[in-house]
Structure 1
Amino acid sequence: MKTALALRHIHFEDLGTLEPLLRARGFELRYLDPAVDELSAVDADAADLLIALGAPIGAFDEALYPFLTTELQLLERRLASGRPLLGICLGAQLIARALGAGVAPMGYKEIGFSALTLTPQGQDSPLAPLAGVPVLHWHGDRFELPAGCTPLAGTPLCAEQAFARGDALLALQFHLEADASRIERWLVGHCCELGQAGIDPRTVRAQAREHGAALTAAAQQSLGSWLDRLGFTAV
């Protein structure tokens, strides 16, 4: 059986709508919590797929959250292996940093559902099904494009929203995995951030109801396309 290892920093920011597709593709899923699990002992090459998920901390915050150093080292080992790696939000920022790119605060928050602008390369990538589909944004930091990587998408508030390196690496600033039917967990779990940003949770809740079904369908098509390129076909 194929294996997928997900680094989950906060319980409700999980694989969401992508989990059923991964199971349908024959993956056995395992979660690790980088804040409490010992990542230095993890074999970076062992899992067929490694996924680094999001969190409300910065990729440069290791002085405050020392576990980030070990997580960054694990991602560096995975990148060196060339094996499939997916990063979402914080995970994408850590991957960018591991590849030598800058990660820094934007000075404002991008929170809520809005569509991406795909680059020409993005239109010919696994992200193509997301064209015109509002995805969930929830971040205040941004990454620069790492050297040797291909830009795939952006928004007016954040020019770099996704990049790839070959077929094996896909890094996404946005949340294509978010399950809109469980958006209340995000609204409660990140209530302080919403309040500080002056964002009404009722707005995000209404957006989730409006766009959730379309995002779920497009996200599964997108991940499915990426898995196809990697040779992880349906069982």
Structure 2
Amino acid sequence: MKTCVAIRHVAFEDLGSFQAPLEAAGYAIRYAEAGLDDLAALSEASTDLLVVLGGPIGAYEDGNYPFLAPELRLIEARLRAGRPTIGICLGAQLMARALGARVYSNNGVKEIGWSALDLTGAGLTSPLASLDGVPVLHWHGDTFDLPEGAALLASTAVTRNQAFSWGKAALGLQFHVEATGAGLERWYIGHACEIGSVPGLSVPRLRADAARHAAGLELVAPKVLSAFLSDMM
């Protein structure tokens, strides 16, 4: 059986709508809990697919979070070896950093909410093609420079580098394609302080927007995953 390890930084940011299609594709899924599990024990060849999930910390906060050092070493080893790797939000930032790019505050602006992506030409022929015109969830205050050798796949007006590929086996997504309407109810609790710190943002507003957009994203997200897995074959 194929294996998927998902590095989880906070309990409520999980594989979401990626979980069922991964299981349907024959993957046995295991979560590695950042800060609790020994990430240094994972080798670049220890799993068929690595998914690095999101979280509310900075990809550059090594002093506060010592697990970032072995996590970055693992990601870099997999990328250099061409091993299938997906990064979401913090995960994409860690992939960018592992490839030598800078991660930093997005001019002090938090991009939180739903909007469609502007796909590049490369994006329209990538696993993201089915997201064309589909609102996705954004939830970040940091951004990253595009790594050398990476292809830019998508942008928004707020954040230029929303998605990149690095070869066929690496996909970095600044936005949350995996989010589900039901799962977001946990986000509204876990991210309550951040929501309250952004002028004009509120749980009722986020919940109302999710009611309009989450179901559509849940239908499309498995297509993104399937296209990525197909590209690797």
Q: TM-score w.r.t. structure 1 length?
A: 0.96
CA distance in 2, matches of 1:94, 1:182: 23
CA distance in 1, matches of 2:5, 2:85: 10
Deviation at 1:165, TM superposition (A): 1.2
CA distance in 1, matches of 2:215, 2:191: 22
Find the counterpart in structure 2 of residue 131 from structure 1: 132
Q: Tell me the amino acid that sits aligned with residue 216 of structure 2.
A: A
CA distance in 2, matches of 1:149, 1:182: 31
CA distance in 2, matches of 1:183, 1:205: 8
Equivalent position SS for 1:45: coil
Percent identity among equivalent residues? 51
Deviation string 1:151-176 (CA, Å, 9 cap, x unpaired) is 00010000000000121000000000
Find the counterpart in structure 1 of residue 169 from structure 2: 168
Matches within 5 A, 1:198-209: 198=199, 199-209=201-211
Equivalent position SS for 1:136: strand
Find the counterpart in structure 2 of residue 195 from structure 1: 196
Q: Tell me the amino acid that sits aligned with residue 152 of structure 2.
A: P
Deviation at 1:209, TM superposition (A): 0.7
Q: Is the 8 A contact 2:180 2:215 kept in 1?
A: no
Equivalent position SS for 1:113: strand
Find the counterpart in structure 2 of residue 64 from structure 1: 64
Deviation at 1:79, TM superposition (A): 1.3
Q: Is the 8 A contact 2:130 2:223 kept in 1?
A: yes
Q: Give the alignment's Cα RMSD to 1 decimal.
A: 0.8
Find the counterpart in structure 2 of residue 112 from structure 1: 113
Find the counterpart in structure 2 of residue 25 from structure 1: 25
Deviation at 1:51, TM superposition (A): 0.6
Q: How many residues align?
A: 231
CA distance in 2, matches of 1:41, 1:226: 26
Equivalent position SS for 2:182: helix
Q: Tell me the amino acid that sits aligned with residue 157 of structure 2.
A: P
Matches within 5 A, 1:1-235: 1-106=1-106, 107-198=108-199, 199-231=201-233
Deviation string 1:73-99 (CA, Å, 9 cap, x unpaired) is 111111122110000000100010010
CA distance in 2, matches of 1:4, 1:183: 23
CA distance in 1, matches of 2:124, 2:132: 8
Deviation at 1:42, TM superposition (A): 1.1
Equivalent position SS for 1:181: coil
Deviation string 1:134-156 (CA, Å, 9 cap, x unpaired) is 10100000011000000000100
